[in-house]
């Protein structure tokens, strides 16, 4: 009898604590920031991942914002985060770029190497891209071999760059069937707060756009190779590929497109990363990738394509 009473008392206590936390979280959501007064700290937990309502009921917390046509971080549905770009961050690489999409931080370094072209394509060089999602960027990733998500992102980035015709691989050939440049582009995510693909494309294009190739002379008789690092030629590029990603939130009435989603929004939209990515280059549609998330109407697909194209103008 005593054990049953104690169990019933604990259940009532847990129910009361949950009700208090929900009421407290609703107070923070609906109270203007200027009306809140903090005694020991000035941190606003409404947009924090430690918000009590978000921890207890993440879906209800997210939906409460969407119903008021605003996102938890205060952005509009079609609003991007601030983008910061820094060129030549790594001095040991030929060229590099550091990009920040909000808190998402990606760095790209490019290294050069000489190699023989493929036998089936003797007049072209090589562009090799690799994306690493290190454990430092998110607790989701562990040390060891690349995760499936990292391999998917690497393939997506490679497809976007190749389909955009940003670089003509024939420009990397030095001597047909003998010698060509290999561009190794290593992209590392330092902080994953969503929309990694867009950040990777921005870092990669910025790195390649500032790349210059040393002059190379090749003696066909002796097969001697001389590289003059003091005399360089800028790499020819075509336009500027831009990828725009969206998360799709399956609302009751219609699905909602969220531009440049962060990690929390990606999770709430049921995807491991953004649900749809649209890429353009110089008015040319490079591709549309749909992975998970809710369904879109034809009008919404056209809207996503239009918004992605406007970013390239």
Query: For the residues of the chain, what is the DSSP string, one character each?
Result: -HHHHHHHHHHHHHHHHHHHHHHHHHHHHHS-GGG---SS----GGGSTT-HHHHH-HHHHHHHHHTTT--TTS--TTPPPPEEEEES--TTSSEEEEEEETTEEEEEEEEEEEEPPBTTBTT--EEEEEEEE-TTT-TT--SSSPPHHHHHHHHHHHHHHHHHT-S-GGGGEEETTTEEEEEEEEEEEEE-SS-HHHHHHHHHHHHHHT-EEEEEEEETTTTEEEEEEEEEEEPP--S--EEEEEEEEE-SSSEEEEES--HHHHHHTT-SS-SEEEEEETTEEEEEEE-SS----HHHHHHHHHHHHHTT-
Cα 254 from Cα 278, distance rounded (Å): 20
Please count the residues of the chain.
313
- Structure tokens belonging to residue 73: 């971080």
Predicted pLDDT at 191: 95
What domains are there in the chain, each with its CATH number?
15-76 (no CATH), 83-234 (3.30.230.70), 242-312 (no CATH)
pLDDT for 29: 44
The sign of the CA dihedral 148, 97, 84, 49 is: positive
Orientation of helix 58-66 relative to helix 2-30, angle to 10°: 30
* Distance (Å) of CA 191 to CA 54, 118, 153, 245, 293: 21, 36, 15, 18, 23
Compute the C-alpha angle 51/83/77, nearest 5°: 55
If one counts every other C-beta atom within 10 angstroms of the C-beta of residue 53, the result is: 22
pLDDT score recorded for residue 55: 72
Q: What is the rounded CA–CA span in Å between residue 94 and residue 77?
A: 38
Nearest to 264 by CA among 243, 244, 253, 249: 249
Please report the pLDDT score of residue 295 as a whole number: 76
Q: Tell me what pLDDT residue 35 has.
A: 41
For residue 33, the model assigns a pLDDT of 43
pLDDT at residue 293, as a whole number: 66
pLDDT at residue number 3: 45
Tokens of 28: 């923070």
Alpha carbon 208 to chain centroid, angstroms: 18
Cα–chain-centroid distance for residue 5? 53
Residues lower than pLDDT 70 in the chain: 1-51, 53, 252, 293-294
Q: What is the pLDDT of residue 99?
A: 97
Closest by CA to 194, choosing from 136, 303, 267, is 267
Identify the pLDDT of residue 119. Answer: 92
CA 246 distance to own-chain centroid: 11
- Say what the pLDDT of residue 41 is: 39
Of 16, 39, 242, 207, the C-alpha closest to 112 is 207
pLDDT at 168: 95
């Amino acid at each position: 009898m005593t054990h049953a009473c104690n169990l019933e008392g604990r259940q009532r206590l847990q129910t009361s604590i949950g009700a208090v936390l929900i009421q407290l979280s609703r107070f923070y959501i609906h109270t203007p920031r200027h009306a809140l007064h903090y005694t020991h700290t000035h941190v606003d937990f409404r947009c924090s991942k430690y918000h009590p309502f978000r921890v207890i009921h993440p879906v209800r917390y997210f939906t409460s914002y969407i119903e008021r046509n605003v996102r938890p971080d205060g952005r509009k549905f079609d609003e991007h985060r601030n983008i910061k770009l820094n060129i030549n961050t790594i001095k040991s690489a030929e060229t590099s770029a550091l990009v920040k999409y909000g808190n998402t931080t990606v760095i790209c370094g490019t290294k050069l190497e000489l190699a023989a072209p493929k036998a089936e394509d003797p007049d072209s060089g090589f562009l090799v891209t690799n994306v690493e999602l290190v454990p430092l960027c998110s607790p989701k990733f562990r040390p060891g071999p690349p995760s499936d998500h990292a391999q998917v992102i690497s393939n997506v980035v490679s497809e976007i760059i190749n389909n955009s015709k940003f670089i003509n691989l024939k420009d990397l050939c030095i001597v047909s069937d003998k010698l060509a440049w290999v561009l190794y582009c290593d992209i590392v995510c330092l902080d994953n707060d969503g929309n990694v693909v867009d950040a990777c494309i921005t870092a990669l294009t910025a790195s390649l756009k500032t790349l210059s190739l040393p002059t190379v002379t090749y003696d066909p008789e002796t097969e001697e190779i001389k590289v003059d690092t003091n005399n360089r030629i800028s790499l020819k590029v075509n336009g500027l590929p831009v990828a725009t990603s969206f998360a799709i939130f399956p609302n009751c009435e219609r699905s909602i497109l969220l531009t440049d989603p962060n990690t929390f929004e990606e999770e709430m939209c049921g995807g491991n990363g953004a649900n749809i990515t649209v890429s353009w280059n110089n008015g040319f549609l490079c591709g549309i990738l749909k992975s998970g998330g809710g369904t879109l109407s034809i009008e919404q697909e056209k809207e996503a394509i239009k918004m992605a194209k406007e970013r390239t103008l």
